[in-house]
Amino acid sequence: MRNYMAGGSMAQAMSQIAINPNSDAHDFFYVTTQQAFNFLASRNFNVVLQNNQYVHDDGSLSVWAAQQQIDYINVEAGREHTATQLAMLAAIWAYMQQYYQK
């Protein structure tokens, strides 16, 4: 997360950051939509929202997804943070159930 914060190497490509001071900085979501950001941040996860207008097109899937207006969510978690990874995946499942269930 530190690379995405003000002064970090990736800060200019970010629109918003939600930080839970009780969470490990290695455990965060990288998303391309305000909807996903709001959903995950409201559940006290660390979340980085890509600035889709100013992010450098380096061939990343997140950039392509934003260009295609496709919701993109990436889970970043530290080594041996299995419980956190499972909680993060459960949050994505809840997100999908809320916004993509037919």
Instruction: Give the span between the Cα atoms of 47 and 21, in whole angstroms.
Output: 12
Residue 5: is it exposed, middle or buried by C-beta count within 10 angstroms (0-12/13-18/19+)? middle
Beta-bridge partner residues of 75: 29
Question: Consecutive sets of 10 residues in the chain, 102 residues long: mean pLDDT of each?
Answer: 74 87 94 98 97 90 95 94 96 96 76
* Predicted pLDDT at 97: 95
